[in-house]
Structure 1
C-alpha cells in the first residue's frame, strides 16, 4: 500500500514514529510538509499554506492508494484534490483550538477520521476511529533512578517534579504547575524542585522521566498527551488535570491521579511524593505501543481503500 502523508508537523516525534511504525508493517509512506518554519515566536503564515496547495495537487497524481492528512489545517488541501480517498488525523489543539471549526468542517468530507481520544470523538460529533499516538517502548523504558539523577546532576536528597514542556508554552499552564509545587513544599519534608523540559531533545526525555519522582501535567487542553504515555512506559507516576484521554490512559495505573482542582492536585502530588514509589504503568501500557497504533491505522487504510 502506498500512502501520501501531508502534514504541518513533519519533525514531530509522534508523527515520525507513526510513519516508521507503518513502514515496518509494509506501508510505503511519502511525506509532503507545509513550507515555512515554526519557531517559539512565530508560526506558519497563510501564504505558506497557500503555497502548499499546488504541491499537494501535483503529488496526488502519483501512484498512491490514499492521502493521509495529519493535523486539521492540512485537511482542506487533502479534500480538494480529486483522485484519492482521504484519511484525516486530528491531534487535539486542531479540534478544540480557535481554528477547530476548519477540522470539523473538513471531517465531513473525509473517508475516515482518526482522533486521539473518546473526548475528541464527542467533540467532533461524528463517528471516527480513536487511535492515540503510540510510544517507542525501546526508548521509553524504566532505568535505575540513581543513575539518571547522577547524569542530570539532580540532588538525590530532594524530590523532583517534572513539568514536561517549555515554561513559555501558554496552553501548558506552567504558572499553575509552579503554584502547585510551591504549595506542597509545606507538606513534604524533603526539598521539592520543579524541573522543566526546556530545550530537551526527545531522545533525552527518558532520562528525565527516570530521574523524576512524578510528572505534573497542568495543560488547559490536550488531545492525547504523549508525555503521559511516555511516563507510563517509564513507570513514572503522573498527576494530571482532567484533559484529553488522560483518565483512560491512567486507569489502573498507581500511584497516579487525575484531578479537577488545585486542591486535588496539591493533595495528589503530596501523596505521590511521600509514597516515593514508581508506578505499575509499564504493565498497563499494552494499548499505547507503536505496534498497536500502526496496526489500527493500517486497518483504517484497508477499510478506506476497500470502500
Structure 2
C-alpha cells in the first residue's frame, strides 16, 4: 500500500493557499474619507497625508480627500455644509480626520460611519511661539481635543508625547507616519549640479519654514556665520516640492532640525531613509528614532552646542539611518498595514 498522508497534507495546504488568495481577492474594499486642512499654499493636501493615503491602495482601501478651507474655529465650521453634501452623495465606510478641528467638522455632520482622529501635535499641546513656551499648554485646541474623544472611535497619536493628551486610552494608538523607502533612499550620484550647489563645499540643510517660530530657524541663523567661518554653508530652500527633498538629502552633508515642538518629524525619518546625517533637537520621538545610531546627534537649544555637533558629525564617515528606520518598521507598507488594523477595530 502507498502512504498517502503526505500527499493529503500537500493537497490540504494547496487548498488553504487557494482559499486565502481567493479571500484576498474578494475582500470588501474599504472606502475611507480623509478630512484635512486645504489651507496649504503649495499643496492641495499635505504631502505626508497624501503619501499615507496612497499607501493604503495596496491594502485594498480607496481614499477620497475632503479639503477643509478656512482657518480657526469659524473657518472650519463653515465647511460642515459641504462635508454633509459629500457624505450624502457618496458612500464611505469610515472617516479619518487629520487634526482635531477637522474631526469636529466631521462630528458635527453626525455621520453614520465611525470617525478616526489623527492628532497632529499642535492640537495636543497648543502652538509654541518661543522657547519659554516649549511645554504643554492648555488652550482652545487642547480643550477641543479633550472634548472630542467620546465622539470618535479611535485616536492616533504620532508619538508618545502627543498621546499624553488622550484620556480615553482604550481608543488610543501610537502610529508614526511611514516613509516611502523607494522614493527616499541613498543615491549613488549627487544632485549638486542640478541644485546649483558647489562640489567642494560642505552643506548643512534646514528644510523647515523659517517664518514658523516652532521650527526655530533663529537658532540656525545664529549658527550660520560661525559655520561659514569654518567653510560650511547653510541651505534653507523652503518652500520646495516634496519630490525635490530627496535630491537635497542626497546632496548635502548634514540635515539640521531645530524645532521647539514636533510629534514624529517626517523630515528626520526621510533623512534616515536616505542615510543623510543629521543634528536634531530632542523633540517628539526624535530620541527614540535615532537612539545611538551612527550618523546622528541630539543637540540642545544652544548655538555653540549646535555648531559643535555639526562640526563633529561632519568628521564621521558612517551613517546607519536607513537600517535603523527599517528596524523600527517605519517603512510605508508596514505602517499602512497597522493603519488598516486600526480602521478594522474602529469598524467593529
TM-score in same-fold range (> 0.5)? yes
Question: What's the secondary structure of 2:51's corresponding residue?
Answer: helix
Please report how far the alpha carbon of residue 142 of structure 1 lies from its aligned counterpart in structure 2 after TM superposition: 0.8
| Rg larger in structure | 2
Aligned residue in 1 for 2:243: 203
Which stretches in structure 1 are left out of the alignment for 5+ residues? 37-43
Matches within 5 A, 1:128-167: 128-144=172-188, 147-167=190-210
1:55-134 alignment, distance < 5 Å: 55-61=82-88, 62-80=90-108, 81-98=110-127, 99-127=141-169, 128-134=172-178
Give the 3-state SS of the residue equivalent to 1:69 in structure 2. strand
The TM-score normalised by the length of structure 2 is 0.79
Given candidates 275, 278, 291, the residue that maps to 1:235 is: 275
Deviation at residue 7 of structure 1 after TM alignment: 1.1
Question: What is the aligned partner in structure 1 of residue 59 from structure 2?
Answer: 25
Could you tell me which runs of 5 or more consecutive residues in structure 2 were left unpaired when the two chains were aligned: 1-29, 39-43, 128-140
Question: 1:107 & 1:180 partners in 2: Cα distance?
Answer: 42
Q: What is residue 33 of structure 2 aligned with on the other side?
A: 4
Q: Could you tell me the TM-score, scaled by structure 1's length?
A: 0.89
SS at match of 1:73: helix
Root mean square deviation of aligned Cα: 2.0
Displacement, 1:197? 2.4
How far 1:233 sits from its partner (Å)?
0.6
Q: Deviations over 1:36-75 (max 9, x none)?
A: 5xxxxxxx35553232112223333443222111112111
Distance 2:146 2:225 in 1: 40
Partner of 1:247: 287
Distance 2:69 2:119 in 1: 20
Residues 127-165 of structure 1 show CA distances to partners (whole Å, capped at 9, x for unaligned) of 2111111111121111135x3223222222221000012
Cα separation, 2, equivalents of 1:105 and 1:253: 39
- Contact residue 157 and residue 163 of structure 2 kept, 8 A: yes
